[in-house]
Amino acid sequence: MPRSQPEPTHRITHSPSENGSSNVDTFLAELALGGAPMPEWAKQLTKVGVILADLLEQNKIEDGLTFNLAISLPTRSYASALINLGLQIGLRGTINKSFDEQEYFEALKKLPIDSEVRFYETPHLNRNAKRRIFKGVVEEEGVEMISLQDPKNPSSKDSLPKKGCYRIIRDDQQRVTSLTEIKGLLERINGESSIQDAISFTLSSKPVGAIIGKNKTNEVEHKLPLECPWDRKKIKFSLSDIIRPEAQTLFLSHLRDETCDVLQEKQPPVVIYEGLPAAVKFRDAYTPIVRIFLMDRQAPSSADYRSELKSFYLSREADPAPMIDIPLSGIETISFYSAF
């Protein structure tokens, strides 16, 4: 039986001040996409991610329930990427706390001998990663050290202790931009930051969210070139430098059954479902804290997707959920709680 529609407790159009919204608003106002000023629709979608991040960070989601947000759009293009950008900058504090240098060191120790890694010679990283071969763990003066070898010079050796081990990047990890630039990016949002913050933000492997859809499309869209002013110059980076594919963001296919296994193993707090196939097949496969349903009205299955979401909405919990508005013509939102 459909339940009576709950009245929203409050309506949100931008992130609350305690999440540093003024800094975030300034950052978005100065952010350029592909060399052009960020358009209003892109700012508003990014702010949706910031709002959701605030709900998570401030524990404003009812315990034991899942917060569901459905968004109807003229097109889904770049919507996931921009919402994801907002999530990442909004959850920067949580991301920074999730990086553990000891765990990172222990994971490096378990690499197969002779596996290839990337090594940054400077502690701030500088885009110039060198190829190295992992030669195991050695002990020097009672301290465990990771031993690396230059494949072009077998007699060479680089040894790193736990402190500073972040300069070693597994070969399957996303390449790292300069930590100085990531520090600058965080300063534009926070007002202050440190290299340690940049290390944690860049190398945390605890996923913030997962996007279920067409992987190739999402990979391309998350390479969006960005730039913002900092210290009388411009920082240039790609969206991938912020969202860290396969670490902080999981790109999962709506066609593959193993998507269920990855969700259960990685447990991302936020899942974005791009289209009807993703929602039907994987909505009940894993229960995140936040679900985002993106409905592209140009898609042939949009009517069926709307019907599916309506059915899910009619079985919602009675608890009133915060309403998230996107003040743009042609975009509709609805939010509600579910028990699963």
Give 177's pLDDT tier (boundaries 50, 70, 90): confident
Residues 113, 135 contacting (CB under 8 angstroms): yes
pLDDT in tens, 219-230: 999 999 999 988
Determine the residue type at 291: R
What band does 304 get if pLDDT is binned at 50, 70 and 90?
very high
Average of per-residue pLDDT values in the chain? 90
Percent of the chain whose predicted confidence (pLDDT) is above 70: 94
Q: How far is CA 5 from CA 70, 116, 332, 334, in A?
A: 16, 57, 17, 12
Instruction: Read off the DSSP letter of residue 14.
Output: S
How many angstroms separate the CA atoms of 122 and 214, rounded? 37
Rounded Cα distance between 127 and 125, Å, is 6
The whole-number average pLDDT for the span 165-177 is: 84
Range of lowest pLDDT (14-18, 36-40, 57-61): 14-18
> pLDDT grade, residue 191 (50/70/90)?
confident
User: Encoding tokens for residue 75?
Assistant: 């097109």
- pLDDT value, residue 175: 75
Q: Which residues contact 328 (CB under 8 A, 6 or more apart)?
A: 40, 41, 44
Least confident of 75-84, 98-107, 177-186, 297-306: 177-186
DSSP secondary structure, 121-135, as one string: SSTT--S-PEEEEEE
pLDDT at 203 over 50: yes
DSSP code of residue 285: T
Percentages helix, strand, coil for the chain (3-state, rounded to 5) are 35, 25, 35
CA distances from 319 to 63, 205, 315 (A): 11, 33, 12
pTM metric for this prediction = 0.90
Q: Which two tokens stand for residue 256?
A: 């593959």
Q: Is pLDDT of 1 > 90? A: no
Residues near 262 by Cβ (< 8 Å), separated by ≥ 6?
Answer: 210, 250, 252
Per the DSSP assignment, residues forming a β-bridge with 265 are none
Q: Give the confidence band of 11 by pLDDT, cuts at 50, 70, 90.
A: low
Q: What is the pLDDT of residues 16-38, one digit of tens each?
A: 444 445 588 888 899 998 889 99
Q: What is the Cα–Cα distance from 236 to 328, expressed in whole angstroms?
A: 28
Structural domains for the chain: 11-98+205-338 (3.40.50), 101-170 (2.30.30)
Token pair 């913050």: residue: 197
Residue 194 confidence (pLDDT) above 50? yes
